[in-house]
Structure 1
Amino acid sequence: MSPPSLGDAASSNNGPSPSFAGPGPGSVSGMTSPSSARVGEGSGPLGIRPDRPCDGCRRRKSRCVMNPDAASCVMCQFHKQACTFIEDAAPRRRKQPNTNTNTTANNPLAGGNASSENASVASLARQRRSGSDGNGHAPRRQSAESIRTGPVIDDYANLQGESLLKKTLGLQNHRYAKYIGPTDEHDFALLDLRLYDDIKGESPADQGSFRKVGPNEFFHQYADSDSPNHAREIEELDNIERIVAPHGEALIKLYFRIVHPTFPILHKKVYLEKYGRTHREFSPPLLAAVYILALNWWSYSAELARQTKPNVAELEDVAYRTLQDVSHRAKLSTVQAGLLLLQRPGSNQAWQLTSQLVAIGQDLGLHLDCSNWRIPSWEKGLRKRLGWALFMQDTWSALIYGRPPHISSTNWAVQPVISSDFPESAADEDGEDGSTEVEKGRTLFSAMITLTKMLAEVLDGLYSLRAEMEVKSSYDSTKAILDRAKPIQLKLRSWYAEMPETLRMDATRVGKLSSVGYLHLAYFATEITLHRRILRSLSHNTDPYMIQICRSAAKARLISAMDFFNRLKPEHLQSFWYFASKFNFALIGTFAGLCFVTSVSQEEAEFYQRRLQEYRWTLRVSNKSAEFLEIASGILESAVGSLLKAADAIDSRRWSFPMLQQQPEEEDTAMESFFPSTDDAFYDTQMDS
């Protein structure tokens, strides 16, 4: 299976194949026309290649781009095949120069004589060689000549030829759109009286224009140029590209190999179409965020492994600064950039940024059902994936930071994702070792959405202020908590039992990374969060048998979670992990600490103390395997380090639960159906499957 091409995404049915002429110096204004003359093959003197695409590119119907110091075109190198001109060219040709959708009509290399062409190629090759440090390593920055500096398309509607972006609402290049809500000053009835064009449903306004995408869905569109700091955008984009030059294309390929399959919040074809023209079409924080995440797997690219790694700290500084700049003219790319930056292992101030992204998402209408909107079908799928990614970010952040979620079911209309919402398939999978499986990634993302919905139920039903007040006012708080928890617990058990085989921990393939670990970890974190609230509800007045049942169930979850950690393999640890994972690993230890300090016997206390110390040690010695484990170890140390040091003092003032000497003669069958006992093999069987 050939890897997903950065220049050939023809297997997708959502639009034309984007041309990916990278930012290397083998192009004029960053691009090379299909009619440009080619450099001769072999190691001999430079010669003239036929004035047409090579055989492979012609069969693939992709652009044939030749770097000046290469014997094969970019696509043939990528697919590891011979670059030949043996087959006869098709008889038709001779298109008008302005039919090219890219800005290469005035390419001086097209149709030039041999001497002038060779001189230009040699000059560009010298530029490329002068950009190295003499050892084949890229310097931290390169001169302005090493990046593309061509003009930017002002309005995608004016693009010649086919493009996915022509009717986009949320990714326009020259303006941004804000959703008009039902209580806005612009009433729907008044807006409906305006005249809208038949192409995109737009109507001019005193400021910008209105766009009608549905019966009662309107957006107000504003020019980017009227927003603060817009004049600096090109400068910021060029700065980002210089930091990573000449590795931008390789990093983007790396991102779509490893991160994108399991966190598909971008549209690959749209991203590559834009980058194929110029990096200047992007929002600066999004361009930087893709590079930043890809840099985590720098050594997984044979092309990059021996090169000097770009300055990550400099990229992060630009990304966060420009993210605040573009928030004044927010687009879908703003939310994409923010979500990607939050996936960084060492991301700080995540709650504040999450809050900002939720507000921006509402401005963009990401909380709405866009199924019947007058926008391209690919954007509908993107909006659904992005909306659910925002929902997950908000819900897991609420768990981590102990805050109420911003998103509630009463104001959430996004439809569940379906297979057609994911434009990539197994045909787009990268065959290179260390890649992520596309189909598994799609299933994983969908399963994580479902699990997050259940976590939202746990937070709302057991931890919200309303739930707390209702439980406090009940006669038996433990029973009130159990009544609330039981339906969620049954959903969790059913979800885990019916998990697709491809998402099981042992469902790995040789040479492929697997991100299923973060899904299983999230499941245990959800279970632990539920049982954590149950343990807190127990008191001296609680029936001893109920205490035993509740604590036995909590113990079973804790043991399963700790055993899960011991089953992780390198292909799990080296893959993409969701941002909450570092906190979820620490949460397992925190739960062990809670079980320890609420123990009802010395024997039980010693058991939890021992397991907590073992887990703490295992996490500490494993933290070199992945950066997020090192962070998780630090979080856990902060949470329970002082507890273990004070263990003797805690033992001396044991929580005075009555010792459970004997079970009542009449067992509570309802409780047994809710909580598997310690000898119940259900969870162990599921873990071993």
Structure 2
Amino acid sequence: MPPISRYPSTDGQGETDLVMHVEGARSRSEQCTFIQNPQRRKRRRVEDESSPDAAKARSPDADRSVQAKPPINDYTSLPGPSLLKQTLGLQNRQHGQYLGQTSEYDVRLINLSPFNGRGEHVSMPGTLRRVSPNVHFIMKSESQAEVDDELANLDLVESIVQPHGRALVDLYFRIIHPSFPIFDKKVFLEKYGRTHREFTPPVLAAVYILALNWWSYTPELVNLPKPDIQKLEQLAPAMMSVVLNRPKLSTVQAGLLLLQRPDGDSWALTGQLVAVAQNLGLHLDCSKWKIPEWERSLRKRLAWGLFMQDKWGSLTHGRPSLIHAEDWSVRPVEARDFPETAEDDDEEEGSSDIETGRLTFIHMISLTEILTNILNTFFTVRAMANLSNDSENAMKTTLELAKPIQLQLKDWHGKLPKSLAIGETRARKLSPTGSLHLAYFAAEVTLHRAIIRFDSTHMDENLRHITRNAAKARFTSAIEFVGRLEPAHLQSFWYFASKVNLAIIGTFGSLLWATSDNPEEAEFYKSQLAEYRWTLRVSSKAAEFMKFTVGMLDSSPVFVKDGASKTTTPNMPKEPPAQEPAPEPMQQDQYKQELDQMNYGINEASPSVGTSTENAFQYDQDIVGTAMAPTDTRPAWSGFANNVNFSTGDIQDWSLDQLYNFENFQVAEDIFASRRFIEEYDETGNNFAGF
């Protein structure tokens, strides 16, 4: 059904209005809303709901959709204690817009206005509100027609889930909120405790839509008919479009939640949310603003939630990022920005752990900052053009740029607390850490994807050998990780990018297959991809978003008609290549000298937190007698076997510490000449082979 329609007003003023058409209105003995004068009708509807006679005629299960409480227009005047007094971004029936430095408003002129003790000054277009000496907002009230439309939409949303609205809210805060804390739980429950009418329609619909995915996790609901989620999903986009021009924090909250649906990702909506966030000043440091403390913390969490949406959306859609460092001053989140603690844990079976969720959110932010570095370094239009225009040195330049980012990833992984290890799950608790670790592998694969972009059989053989084996290690580690996911991970909340992150890993493996040097290598990657596809196929019964990658692999050239012939992959020469003459001694010395001049050395003296002590390397040691590089002489793959027993729950060194020390070609060549190692690695695929 078309849930929201636009009809011309008949009051002679040429106005338009949004009204709701509920198909089942007559069956519920409610007045039909399909009329021509929505403004008068909606005022009458609110009045009718306030009458005792109307309440008596109503069915018991319609309690929340027709609550008789009038809307609260200003939380400042709310009687009794409330967290919402003095709120800036969640006022009811009014919204505020940030006044930028180059707009028609000038800070110096605004500050000449007589502000009252609440930092407000009533002006012609609206009420000016000063939250800091140089930051101002203009607050505008919503029209009665807009309020009436919103109430009708809210009642429609509630009617779809009634009488289970509160149970779904509880489900949301048990399972989704701990690792995606873009609400203040106490504020949300305070508002919901009064009436569902204090929200905006899309945010209420979004909470219900996500919570319905865990309907069976509440014993009281499991045997009851499940509300029609498709009706909510049909309503939500139209309702979202209505509130985009009336920015509130709830607008961004609703958009982010709708984007978390497996089939709800939209780059266009992401762009709209970034624009709304800028209208709300979410890109600014609010730590000293004159707003409630809970709102300062909420703004930080919400801003970083949008930051992650933008960056991972940029990755998964292959689009330029919309948030830039030059216009971003949001401070990092701290422990005090998370009001819920372990003491607030819901002990009901199937809940998510609050502390694990908080740490997952924090470390996801820091991982996203590394991803931003990867995207800015290798995948902007300018970066790709610069590397392509210097094809002769593209690989060398790429590796120079990649190494510090690889170190950032290694450091990030090494500092993960033990509670975030993929093997750390609690009995009868869901674990959101699978999404975090998958994001790490997607970042690793994206970095290596940039490196093998310049992979060519014409490049230096030793260098190509090292880079391809590093890529191979990342790919097989990612496959092993997916195979170790437990039901507690699969049934948990997964960040929106997880669906495509799995596909990115599959694409990476397909690229390695397509650029294989020989049939044996091609067959290895085909076998690994087949195992990956099988793991995803069986896991998709518990995590349906995995079906996307299964379908992608089913249609991949690797498997179409039982896969393209392993003897026809692009990199496989049909004839043995002509032997090139060995370089003259002078050329060898010159090449070695050039490598010596590349300063890739680092010094890491202590192991990372939560990892094996084998991760501690003294890179300055001369381990081969005559070093080719002054500060980095260890074997490029010396960290390859750094694994802690997975069954113990300790952090496993997924990072492998392959840092492209390609200066030391002779050492790497000697290592990979070991057929024993290659065979053991091929057989296990889990990197437990050692040297």
TM-score (norm 2): 0.76
Give CA-to-partner distance per residue, 1:371-406, whole Å, 9 cap, x none: 011111000000000000000000000000111100
The equivalent residue for 1:363 is 279
1:173 corresponds to which residue?
A: 92
Structure-2 residue corresponding to 1:523? 440
Q: Which residue of 2 aligns with 1:35?
A: none
* Residue in 1 that maps onto 2:543: 626
2:218 matched residue in structure 1: 301
Find the aligned partners of 1:369 and 1:658 in 2 and give their Cα distance.
60
Deviations 1:357-376 (A, max 9, x none): 11111111111100011111
Cα deviation, residue 457, structure 1? 0.3
Cross-structure match for 2:121? 203
Distance, in Å, in 2 between the alignment partners of 1:575 and 1:673 is 44
Provide closer, same or farther for how the CA distance between residues 180 and 652 of structure 1 changes in structure 2, counting only shifts above 3 A. Answer: closer
1:539 and 2:456 matched = yes
Displacement, 1:473?
3.9
The code of the aligned residue for 2:185 comes to K
Contact 2:553 2:559 in 1 (8 A): no
Deviations 1:511-567 (A, max 9, x none): 110000000000000000000010011234421111011001001111110000110
User: Conserved in 2, the CA contact under 8 Å of 1:544 and 1:660?
Assistant: no
Q: Which runs of 5+ in 2 are unaligned?
A: 1-49, 583-587, 593-625, 646-650, 655-691
Structure 1 residue 193: Cα displacement: 1.2
Provide the C-alpha distance between the structure 1 equivalents of 2:642 and 2:488, rounded to a whole number of angstroms. 27
- Rounded Cα–Cα distance in structure 2 between residues aligned with 1:675 and 1:569: 35
> Which residue does 2:233 correspond to in 1?
316
- Judge conservation of contact 1:385–1:417 (CA < 8 Å) in 2: yes
1:507 to 412, 424, 428: 424
Higher alpha-carbon deviation: 290-299 or 312-321:
312-321
| 1:351 aligned onto 2:276 | no
Aligned with 2:637 (options 667, 674, 677): 677
> Which residue pairs with 1:372 in the alignment?
288
Task: Indicate if the aligned counterparts of 2:316 and 2:497 stay in contact, CA closer than 8 A.
Answer: yes
1:263 aligns with 2:180: yes
Which residue is 1:447 aligned to? 363
1:25-44 superposed matches below 5 A: none
Matched, 1:487 2:404: yes
Conservation of the 8 A alpha-carbon contact between 1:207 and 1:222: yes
- 1:278-330, CA deviations, whole angstroms, 9 ceiling, x for partnerless residues? 10000100011001100000000011111110010111122211110011111
| Equivalent position of 1:68 in the other structure | none
| Equivalences for residues 244-263 of structure 1 within 5 A | 244-263=161-180
Are the structure 2 counterparts of residues 637 and 342 from structure 1 closer, same or farther at C-alpha, using a change threshold of 3 Å?
farther
1:575 to 488, 492, 496: 492
1:677 deviates by: 2.5
Cα drift, residue 621 of structure 1: 2.6
Query: Quick check: 1:544–1:658 contact (8 Å CA) kept in 2?
Result: no
Give CA deviations for 1:124-178 in whole Å, capped at 9, x if unaligned: 9x943xx5xxxxxxxxxxx578642321111101111111111000000021111
> Aligned AA for 1:568?
L
Aligned residue among 474, 477, 480 for 1:560: 477
How many angstroms apart in 2 are the aligned matches of 1:398 and 1:671? 36
Aligned to 2:142: 224
Asked if 1:416 is matched to 2:332, the reply is yes
Q: 1:317 to 1:229 in 2, by over 3 A?
A: farther
Is 2:393 aligned against 1:476? yes
Report the equivalent of 1:114.
none
Which of 153, 164, 167 is 1:236 aligned to?
153
**SS at structure 2 position matched to 1:220:** strand
Gaps of 5+ in 1: 1-105, 109-119, 132-142
Per mean C-alpha deviation after superposition, the further-off stretch among 380-389 and 538-547 is 538-547
2-structure distance, mates of 1:145, 1:517: 37
> After the TM superposition, which of the residue ranges 386-395 and 185-194 deviates more from structure 2?
185-194
Q: Name the structure 1 match of 2:681.
A: none
Decide which moves more: 186-195 or 637-646. 637-646
1:212 and 1:599 mapped to 2: Cα distance?
62
The 2-side partners of 1:253 and 1:660 are apart by 70
Deviation at 1:674, TM superposition (A): 9.7
- The residue that corresponds to 1:10 in the other structure is none
Identify which of 400, 412, 416 aligns with 2:316. 400
Alpha-carbon spacing, 1:580–1:674, altered in 2? closer, same or farther (3 Å)? farther
Q: Residues 146 and 471 (structure 1 numbering): CA distance in 2 closer, same or farther, change over 3 Å?
A: closer
Instruction: Give 1:618 shift.
Output: 2.1
CA contact (8 A) 2:526 2:558 kept: no
Determine the C-alpha separation between the residues in 1 that align with 2:556 and 2:628: 35
2: distance between equivalents of 1:500 and 1:518?
A: 16
Contact kept, 8 Å, 2:558 with 2:564, in 1: the verdict is no
Match of 1:182 among 92, 97, 101: 101
Listed as ranges, the matches of 1:56-75 within 5 Å are: none
CA 1:304 to 1:544, structure 2 compared with 1: closer, same or farther past 3 Å? same
Question: Structure 1 150/659 Cα, relative in aligned 2: closer, same or farther at 3 Å?
Answer: farther
Tell me, what secondary structure is at the counterpart of 2:97? strand
* Aligned equivalent of 2:111: 192
Change (3 A) 1:146 1:322: closer
Distance 1:145 1:373, change over 3 A: closer
Aligned residue in 1 for 2:10: none
The 2-side partners of 1:652 and 1:314 are apart by 48
Change (3 A) 1:339 1:644: farther
1:154 maps to 73
- The question of whether the paired residues in 1 share the 8 Å contact of 2:442 and 2:504 is answered with yes
TM-score of the two chains, using structure 1 as the length reference: 0.76
Q: Which has the higher contact order (CA 8 A, sep 6+)?
A: 1
Q: Summarize the Cα distance change of 1:644–1:284 in structure 2 as closer, same or farther, 3 Å threshold.
A: same
Q: Within 1, Cα distance between the matches of 2:324 and 2:181?
A: 23
CA distance in 1, matches of 2:638, 2:560: 26
The percentage of counterpart residues that share the same residue type is: 48
CA distance in 1, matches of 2:480, 2:76: 55
Query: Which residue does the alignment assign to 1:164?
Result: 83
CA contact (8 A) 2:174 2:346 kept: yes
1:445 is paired with a residue whose SS is helix
Deviation of 1:593 after TM superposition, in Å, equals 0.2
Counterparts of 1:607 and 1:173, CA distance in 2 = 60
Give CA-to-partner distance per residue, 1:583-619, whole Å, 9 cap, x none: 1111111110011011122221111111112211221
Farther off after superposition, 238-247 or 612-621 = 612-621
Closer/same/farther in 2, CA of residues 652 and 368 from structure 1, 3 Å limit: closer
Mean alpha-carbon deviation: is it higher for 233-242 or for 147-156?
147-156
